[in-house]
Chain A
Amino acid sequence: MLEIRFHGRGGQGAVTSAELLAQAAIEEGKYARAFPSFGPERRGAPVSAFCRIDDKPVTLRTSIDSPDVVVVLDPSLFSAVDVTRGLRKDGSLVINTKKEPGRFMFHGLKQLAAVNATQIAQEILNRPITNTVLLGALVRLLPVVKVESLISAVQNRFSGKIADLNVQALERAYEEAQIISAGDVDIEKQVPCFQEKEPPEKGKEDKPCKEDLDYLWTELTPGCVVQPGSTRDNLTGDWRSTLPVMQKERCIQCGLCWAFCPDAAQVQEPDGFFSVDLDYCKGCGICAKECPTGAIHMEKELEL
């Protein structure tokens, strides 16, 4: 059985990727199951989706904690989420990056496929929806399913022009994906992006990755009462893929960027100017849009 985990952001289509892959496998007569991480995650929040493929019926319904393959739809997730958590020894990685891919290699990883999926999606689909693009890179790295099956799954799922464009994006990623195998790069000579990790302890695979939720039942407050303002511990800055940048010269200190920010991420400094609180800014762009003097513009968030 092959276990694949997708990491994306709410709204980017991670679940659709998993489903398309499963659909392609099923069309080939294999058995597969795809499902999301169930929860109330909003657009922009890190989410995951899972796909299992096998020659015999798949029965497991648990989330995938030790995947064979990890697919990352958005480069901003590398630092936001522990994407390689539990990745099996000799596993594979498929990533969206415009960086030199060798630096993503680490001990224990067998191979990786890298593609500038955001660019491809922008150019072909005119939107940064990278799910079908990464599927192209995935099948190039591993013949999980045939490209034709994947294309037919995409055509069944979408209609008309949207289907054609997605097929085009998938095919281009298949062509452009860069494949790196262990041994192709000298890991010792570079600062690795990811570290090899201990596999999860037996029986602990199912633990939530956030350690701070490891409360014992005896530690809960009566009635689960919660302290005020405590979401401040939840740094939503890692949702951001674009970043507001301010030109002080143009700012008249009117405070509108501050008033209209959904995340209270514009903070007035002692000099009267406003600065972005990177811990919370989700990069929505409202401040840039609403600034009456055009003092703010949005820039792509830096990759790892």
Chain B
Amino acid sequence: MSDANVYAVKTLTSKEYFAPGHRACSGCGQAVAVRMVQKALGRNIVMASATGCMEVVSSPFPQSSWEVPWIHVAFENAAAVASGIEAGLKAQRRKGKIDGRKITVVAMAGDGGTADIGLQALSGALERGHDFLYVCYDNEAYMNTGVQRSSATPFGAVTTTSPAGRVNSGQLTWKKNMMRITAAHDIPYAATASPSHPLDLVEKVKKGMETEGPAYLHVLSPCPPGWGIAAEDSIQLARLAVETGIFPLYEIDKGKHRITMNLEKLVPVKQYLKKQGRFRRLSPEMMEEIQERVCKEWQELREKAEQIDPSAGADEALSKEQEGETEAAKIFRVKAGAPV
């Protein structure tokens, strides 16, 4: 492993576009993800945000954490507001009211603002083909209002509206698959990303920006209070979600599936689930059911990736030992989520 790779995260800009002083919980995985995404986006952007944790922690009047132009309007309409910004800038550019430089328009929302209440606005914006990047920060529940279930809450997870009851325990449904839904709109680019893999994440943000037309990025965002984990564990959990195959890192680039972080062998889901308070009540059968489903979906994903591009699934496995690699270098490579 080359030195360039070891220090690759330092190639991220030192400029902070998501300023500190925000009021996110200590150890918030979403805040880490936002910070990285903003670094990749840079300054030549305009953003529209949905209501949710990141909006609330970042913008109590008269303060704001945003170093870029940013607007919040309501919970369910980030994609529509971004559509309007894009249309407004386009019209003004054409009429010579502003200069001709390309400005990237970005929408951001939580999983609730994306998969539930905001799904219609998102679908409309994707279908109309606006040139923008939509980033969904998925912490797998409505965290801003105190951990209620969303359609992106995983099977078995306890939330305040999928409580551990005597008859039913935890979320009874399987996580809605936003990647398939957005891809079904035939958009040019969709990808998953995780803050545990900064280089992969940054790469995808940049691709999304360069894409002409709509791009969709689905970012896993561990939430200590909502998931029942220690503040220090959010990045570790994000990494485990990737390594277990629960949250595979891949992209759909002009219809082609590509796994960007290949896994030689899936880490058992148990290792991920047992670390989290929200899964404390999982029965062994449920755990087994989850494991089966993860394997099946991972297999399906691999098939899709290989079918279209046989070389795709052949990336070196993350967990595979590299030749002559020192233990420290390996730890590093895993922690930085460096694509091999």
Contact = CB atoms under 8 A, between A and B. Distances in A.
Whether A and B touch directly in their complex, counting CB atoms under 8 A apart, is answered as yes
A89 to B, nearest CB: 34
Interface in B4-46: 6-7, 9-10, 12, 14, 16, 18-29, 31-32, 35-36
A254 B231 CA distance: 22
Interface stretch (A58-66, A150-158, A191-199, A287-295): A287-295
A226 B9 contact: no
B319 interface: no
B336 interface: yes
B286 interface: no
Nearest to A263: B20
Contacts of B198: 259-260
A262 interface: yes
B4 to A, nearest CB: 12
Contact of B62 (A226, A236, A285): A226
Nearest to B196: A260
Contacts of A42: 23-26, 28, 57, 225
Contacts of A260: 32, 195, 198, 235
Contacts of A228: 19, 64, 66-68
B233 interface: yes
Given A254-B6, A285-B230, A239 B26 contact: yes
Contacts of A286: 27, 32, 231-232, 234-235
A256 B233 CA distance: 15
B236 interface: yes
Given A226-B63, A284-B231, A292-B328, A256 B9 contact: yes
Interface stretch (A14-22, A109-117, A161-169, A275-283): A275-283
A230 B144 contact: no
B7 A284 contact: no
A226 B58 CA distance: 11
A207 interface: no
B74 interface: no
Contacts of B235: 260, 286, 289-290
A113 B62 CA distance: 39
Contacts of B14: 268
B335 interface: yes
A265 interface: yes
Nearest to A267: B14
Nearest to B27: A284
A234 interface: yes
Given A283-B26, A286-B27, A234 B21 contact: yes
A278 B162 CA distance: 39
A251 interface: no
Interface string A209-238: 000000100001100101111111111100
A255 interface: yes
B172 interface: no
Q: How large is the interface on B (under 10, 10 to 19, 20 to 34, 35 or more residues)?
A: 35 or more
Contact of A232 (B21, B27, B231, B331): B21
A75 B43 CA distance: 40
A231 B195 contact: no
Contacts of A234: 21-23, 63
Contacts of B24: 42, 262-263
A233 B9 contact: no
Interface residues of A, number: 53
B65 interface: yes
Interface string B132-150: 0000000000001000000
B285 to A, nearest CB: 24
Contacts, number: 163
Interface string B270-304: 00000000000000000000000000000000000
Nearest to A255: B10
Contacts of A99: none
B332 interface: yes
A250 to B, nearest CB: 10
Contact of B144 (A40, A236, A253, A279): A40
B16 to A, nearest CB: 5
B231 to A, nearest CB: 4
A290 B224 contact: no
A11 B20 CA distance: 21
A91 interface: no
A41 B23 contact: yes
A263 B56 CA distance: 15
A246 interface: no
A43 B26 contact: yes
Contacts of A288: 232
Nearest to A268: B14
B232 A277 contact: no
A44 B225 CA distance: 10
29 contacts: A40-B23, A40-B144, A42-B28, A43-B225, A44-B25, A45-B23, A215-B62, A224-B62, A226-B63, A227-B62, A227-B64, A230-B19, A231-B20, A231-B64, A232-B20, A234-B23, A235-B21, A236-B21, A253-B7, A260-B198, A261-B35, A262-B24, A263-B20, A263-B24, A265-B20, A285-B231, A292-B331, A292-B332, A292-B335
Interface of B: 6-7, 9-10, 12, 14, 16, 18-29, 31-32, 35-36, 56-59, 61-68, 144, 195, 198, 224-225, 230-236, 328, 331-332, 335-336
Chain A to chain B: the 3 pairs with minimum beta-carbon distance, closest first: A285-B232, A231-B21, A284-B27
Given A42-B28, A262-B26, 18 more contacts: A42-B23, A42-B26, A45-B25, A228-B66, A228-B67, A229-B64, A231-B19, A231-B23, A236-B21, A236-B23, A254-B9, A262-B28, A264-B20, A264-B35, A284-B231, A284-B232, A289-B236, A292-B328
